């Protein structure tokens, strides 16, 4: 089905952790509660649901675990859960005591379509503090799995097993139980190395002061170090409070980011949309993520992989932290990195003069800010910063005045070189009609400006500071050997959506006249100003009207380069993120334009000047992005056209 193909490419799976209110040692009641919870999860579109440790019996049964009646009832309840959920397209993971080879084990059992696929014993059995599990349970053994017969069906018993979806092996998971997470040698390491993208932990972690925060930290860290999703499901209200209190703290984390968690002391269902495609992409990129191809039992299950109804939110500006405190810290850190990069270059070449083409726009303003900070770090006089304004056919009064005021307030040396005459002479030399406002008309100005800057730098014994940003490089929105070229490009790994926040950060920390002029820059439309102003003297050439909104392009860029997502997946995510702001048709239009420009403009990125990397996405040919300049984009365009037929009508 077309529906299934699209979902397979997207890589999303909805999972859940449920902490039901149980009765201690009442398997009939507990299995009934679990069945209702599975049905509820199924109706929400969940594909895998996990329950706490020993959830069929309750964790706090104590010496009752030594009673045959309880162990037998737990096994019968497991079979009941399998049979009564057989018609539901969902995988369920429940906890129970299970007897194997005359030993009792604390286990997690995996159920799907009426069958128990496998039973996984707990490895690390605690007997310290309030825990005394070794009194009742044997420990599981690494790298051992056995075939057993349960209710007439074959299933696997042992720690050394994975569970994988037929036809969709990205959806492969493993199981560990409570204490297994809290030790150094966690079973999840081997499970992840053998292919598990999701780890489910059935837990009964009692609550004490400070433990919840530590629990969050360890779950999140484990998902990050193993590059996996980690679903931690803990026992809650209903367990005996004779000596302990259980909070039902459920946590779902994906590659170092908490996606969902429950409130403490609640019996609830915690649901998250996990992107197993993203996890696979990250593992491919990390050559230090080691795979283990040693023998491992794999139990297969089959699910109808439907078009996942996503509850997950994707930030419109993935380069920009949503939290104001995080954003402030991030801006300060990035400015420091840019400034240190430039400072190091200036010191290395013993240079005391920097030349910047200051237009009064965002990018050149940020470059000036960085240069000022670098000069201050070196203790250099700011008059060694030569801010060159080069008015021409498209320069407006607003940007010109902003450029002059910026240079003055910062204490830089302002130099003005009007390039109208030299550009007109060049037009005559090459036979260009100045009334024809084509690409030659525009690029001649950009290249003339670069020549002025380069020659000025030579005269001063200085270097030209590049102003172009990451978003412009991705789109090729730069004149080759014009503004595309410099001697050190301080903004080359800063996306446009982040540039304004960096300038805003500087404004907030400055105050006075500097804050006023920086705010004026922030309110100015983005434009190369290569075409004459309108009849009111205002900017007539607005970049985003030509190439598309930068917030969309930065969204596309982030998920394409950072994770290698397919065009159809990026399109779907963008439609969800920008719902109500851009129509699906508008998103598709600019996404096609993004891929076209990204592929055809690689030659400009192949010869970039040196530039400091400040984030996880950069297009430097010496750093993170190596791409042939003559690569074809037909594969990406074809997928977009196929997605357009199906997806556009669904948003």
What pLDDT is attached to residue 2? 40
Tell me the pLDDT band of 4, cut-offs 50, 70 and 90: very low
Say whether 324-650 and 15-301 share the same fold.
Answer: no
Q: What ranges do the domains of the chain cover?
A: 15-301, 324-650
SS3 content of the chain, % helix, strand, coil (to 5): 45, 20, 40
- Name all contacts of 83-88 with Cβ < 8 Å and 24+ positions apart: 83/114, 84/35, 85/35, 85/38, 85/39, 85/42, 85/111, 85/114, 86/113, 86/114, 88/38, 88/39, 88/42
CB 368 within 8 A of CB 338: no
First to last CA, the chain: 19
> Does the structure show a pLDDT above 60 at 255?
yes
581 in active site: no
pTM for this structure?
0.88
> Does the structure show a pLDDT above 90 at 530?
no
112 in active site: no
Fold annotation for 15-301: Nitrilase/N-carbamoyl-D-aminoacid amidohydrolase (3.60.110)
* Tens digit of each residue's pLDDT (9 = 90 or more) over 337-364: 999 999 999 999 999 999 999 999 999 9
Catalytic residue among 178, 228, 575, 611: 178
What pLDDT is attached to residue 7? 42
Work out the percent of the chain whose per-residue pLDDT is above 70: 96
Tell me the pLDDT band of 535, cut-offs 50, 70 and 90: low
Interacting residues of 30 by C-beta distance below 8 A, sequence separation 6+: 20, 22, 23, 55, 56, 57, 58, 77
| Average pLDDT of span 595-623 | 94
d(CA 77, CA 28): 7
Interacting residues of 491 by C-beta distance below 8 A, sequence separation 6+: 338, 363, 366, 367, 370, 466, 467, 468, 469, 470, 499, 611
What pLDDT is attached to residue 528? 66
What pLDDT is attached to residue 540? 59
- By CB atoms closer than 10 A (0-12, 13-18, 19+), residue 556 is buried
* Tens digit of each residue's pLDDT (9 = 90 or more) over 195-212: 999 999 999 988 888 888
Q: How many CA atoms lie within 13 A of 200 on its CB side?
A: 32
Work out the percent of the chain whose per-residue pLDDT is above 90: 76
* Tens digit of each residue's pLDDT (9 = 90 or more) over 393-438: 888 888 899 999 999 999 999 999 999 999 999 999 999 999 999 9
d(CA 482, CA 442): 11
| Average pLDDT of span 122-150 | 86
* Tens digit of each residue's pLDDT (9 = 90 or more) over 87-123: 999 999 999 999 999 999 999 999 999 999 999 999 9
What pLDDT is attached to residue 6? 38
* Tens digit of each residue's pLDDT (9 = 90 or more) over 32-84: 999 999 999 999 999 999 999 999 999 989 999 999 999 999 999 999 999 99
Strand ranges (E), 186-265: 198-203, 229-234, 251-254, 257-261
Nearest to 188 by CA among 146, 228, 158: 228
4 in active site: no
What pLDDT is attached to residue 502? 96
Q: Quick one: DSSP state of residue 347?
A: H
- Range among 299-308, 344-353, 606-615 with highest mean pLDDT value: 344-353
| Average pLDDT of span 600-626 | 93
d(CA 595, CA 174): 37
Six token digits for residue 9: 């490419």
What pLDDT is attached to residue 539? 63
> Does the structure show a pLDDT above 70 at 238?
yes
What pLDDT is attached to residue 8? 41
Other CB atoms within 10 A of residue 273 CB = 20
Other CB atoms within 10 A of residue 144 CB = 13
Mean pLDDT of the chain: 91
Task: Tell me which of 504 and 293 has the higher pLDDT.
Answer: 504
| Average pLDDT of span 121-138 | 89
Fold annotation for 324-650: Rossmann fold (3.40.50)
CA distances (Å), origin 176, targets 47, 81, 143, 203, 346: 19, 21, 14, 9, 54
d(CA 525, CA 300): 56
Catalytic residue among 14, 27, 47, 53: 53
* Tens digit of each residue's pLDDT (9 = 90 or more) over 470-487: 999 999 999 999 999 999
CB 356 within 8 A of CB 342: no
Residue 352 backbone zone (phi > 0: left; psi -120 to 50: alpha; other: beta): alpha
Tell me the pLDDT band of 461, cut-offs 50, 70 and 90: very high
Catalytic residue among 14, 50, 61, 122: 122
What pLDDT is attached to residue 89? 94
Tell me the pLDDT band of 650, cut-offs 50, 70 and 90: low
CA distances (Å), origin 119, targets 156, 158, 443, 608, 629: 6, 6, 68, 56, 52
**Which segment of 166-180, 326-340, 540-554, 604-618 scores lowest on mean pLDDT?**
540-554
């Amino acid at each position: 089905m077309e529906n299934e193909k699209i979902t397979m490419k997207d890589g999303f799976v909805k999972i859940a952790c449920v902490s039901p209110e149980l009765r201690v040692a009442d398997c009939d009641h507990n299995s009934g509660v679990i069945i209702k919870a599975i049905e509820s999860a199924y109706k929400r579109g969940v594909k895998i649901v996990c329950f706490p440790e020993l959830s069929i019996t309750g964790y706090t049964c104590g010496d009752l675990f030594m009673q045959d009646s309880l162990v037998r009832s737990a096994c019968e309840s497991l079979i009941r859960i399998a049979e009564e959920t057989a018609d539901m397209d969902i995988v369920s993971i429940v906890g129970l005591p299970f007897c194997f080879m005359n030993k009792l084990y604390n286990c997690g059992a995996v159920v799907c379509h009426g069958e128990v696929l496998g039973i996984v014993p707990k490895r690390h059995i605690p007997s310290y503090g309030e825990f005394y599990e070794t009194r009742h349970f044997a420990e599981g053994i690494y790298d051992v799995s056995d075939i057993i017969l349960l209710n007439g069906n074959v299933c696997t018993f042992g720690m050394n097993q994975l569970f994988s979806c037929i036809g969709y092996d990205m959806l492969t998971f493993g199981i560990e139980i409570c204490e297994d997470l809290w030790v150094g040698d966690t079973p999840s390491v081997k499970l992840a190395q053998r292919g598990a993208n999701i780890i489910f932990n059935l837990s009964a972690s009692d609550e004490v002061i400070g433990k919840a925060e530590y629990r969050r930290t360890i779950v999140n860290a484990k998902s990050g170090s193993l590059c996996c999703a980690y679903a931690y499901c803990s026992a809650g209200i209903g367990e005996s409070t004779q000596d302990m209190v259980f909070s039902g703290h459920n946590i779902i984390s994906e590659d170092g980011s908490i996606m969902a968690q429950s409130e403490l002391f609640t019996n609830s269902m915690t649901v998250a949309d996990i992107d197993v495609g993203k996890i696979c992409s990250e593992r491919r990129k990390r050559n230090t993520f080691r795979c283990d191809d040693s023998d491992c039992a794999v139990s297969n299950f089959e699910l109808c992989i439907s078009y996942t109804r996503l509850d997950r939110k994707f930030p419109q500006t993935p380069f920009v932290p949503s939290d104001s405190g995080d954003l402030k810290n991030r801006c300060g850190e990035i400015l420091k990195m840019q400034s240190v990069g430039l400072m190091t270059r200036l010191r290395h070449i013993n240079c005391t003069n920097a030349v910047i083409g200051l237009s009064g726009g965002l990018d050149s303003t940020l470059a000036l800010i960085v240069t000022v900070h670098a000069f201050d770090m070196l203790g250099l006089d700011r008059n060694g910063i030569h801010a060159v304004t080069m008015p021409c056919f498209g320069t407006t009064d607003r940007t010109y005045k902003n450029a002059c005021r910026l240079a003055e307030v910062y204490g830089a040396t302002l130099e003005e070189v009007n390039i109208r005459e030299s550009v007109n002479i060049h037009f005559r030399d090459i036979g260009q009609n100045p009334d024809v406002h084509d690409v030659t008309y525009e690029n001649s100005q950009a290249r003339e400006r670069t020549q002025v800057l380069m020659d000025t730098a030579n005269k001063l014994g200085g270097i030209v500071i590049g102003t172009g940003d990451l978003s412009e490089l991705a789109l090729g929105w730069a004149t080759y050997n014009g503004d595309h070229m410099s001697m050190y490009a301080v903004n080359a790994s800063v996306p446009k959506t982040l540039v304004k926040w960096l300038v805003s950060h500087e404004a907030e920390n400055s105050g006075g006249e500097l804050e006023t002029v920086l705010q004026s820059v922030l309110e100015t439309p983005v434009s190369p100003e290569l075409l004459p102003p309108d009849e009111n003297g205002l900017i007539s050439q607005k970049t985003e009207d030509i190439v598309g909104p930068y917030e969309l392009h930065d969204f596309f860029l982030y998920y394409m380069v950072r994770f290698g997502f397919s065009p159809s997946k990026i399109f779907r995510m963008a439609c969800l993120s920008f719902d109500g702001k851009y129509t699906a048709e508008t998103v598709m239009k600019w996404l096609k334009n993004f891929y076209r420009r990204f592929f055809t403009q690689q030659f400009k990125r192949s010869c970039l000047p040196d530039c400091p990397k400040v984030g996880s996405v950069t297009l430097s040919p010496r750093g993170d992005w190596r791409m042939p300049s003559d690569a074809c984009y037909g594969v990406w365009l074809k997928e977009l056209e196929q997605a357009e037929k199906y997806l556009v009508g669904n948003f």
